[in-house]
Amino acid sequence: MSKLGTATNKVTVRKNTGGNVGTRSRLNLIEGAGTTLTVSDDAGDDEVDITITSAGGGGGADWLHQFFPAVDTNAYKGTYATLQMIDAVDTDVWQTFLIPADIATITRAVVLLIPNGTGNTRWAASTNFGAVCSNEDYQTHTDSIAANDSAVTQNEIECINIAAALTGALGGDLVGLKFTRYGSHANDTISGTVHYVGVLVEGTT
């Protein structure tokens, strides 16, 4: 067998039993995302040993997406069952959901809304949460987001970020959410019903 390492004694490299990539006297091994290479010279066996270790998932963590639909729905938008938050009235929506135990880190938590108009909706959120079956009080943790305004567009499925009301929440936590639309406030300029669809939680496992 030919040996590597001289200008005249070269090796041809191909990929996946396909066409030749090139013929050179040296190989350059490059670590891709999520891959670690360990290269060592084994003089006794007259070879170079290459160990390839993969972190899996293309270098990123596995993701889990969990949707919790609104309960006791009283309206619809198209064919979506919703809870309506009507204009000029302050409306509270209450929802309880269990964060999947497989989620190690919450990366996104949003309330899904479909507004009947374009403008700003004024809203706030508050939560209680605690681990189930772990001797924790139902309000071991409390969190909230003060009233603020979010721009929304008619008929779009809008994502209202409530992650700041889940600071420290973990997989296995039972969450009680109160989401309020301040429809009577001057800053709420939609002039129409806002449909509450549910909660979407995303995280890494």
One digit per residue, the tens of pLDDT, for the chain of length 205 reads: 445 555 567 777 776 666 777 777 777 878 776 688 888 887 887 777 788 887 654 445 577 899 999 999 999 999 999 999 999 999 999 999 999 999 989 999 999 999 999 999 999 999 999 999 999 999 999 999 999 999 999 999 999 999 999 999 999 999 999 999 999 999 999 999 999 999 999 999 8
Q: Confirm whether 41 is domain-assigned.
A: yes
What is the domain-level CATH number for residue 86? 2.60.120
pTM (two decimals): 0.71
Q: Confirm whether 6 is domain-assigned.
A: no
Q: Confirm whether 3 is domain-assigned.
A: no
- Secondary structure of residue 95 in the 3-state scheme: strand
In terms of domains, do 112 and 141 share one? Answer: yes
Element (H, E) at 84: strand 80-85
3-state secondary structure 4-71: CCCCCCCEEEECCCCCEEEEECCCCCCCCCCEEEEEEEECCCCEEEEEEEECCHHHCCCEEEEEEECC
Q: Residue 187 belongs to what domain range?
A: 63-204
In terms of domains, do 72 and 156 share one? Answer: yes
Strands 141-152, 75-77: parallel, antiparallel or unpaired by DSSP? Answer: unpaired
In terms of domains, do 132 and 49 share one? Answer: no
In terms of domains, do 17 and 39 share one? Answer: yes
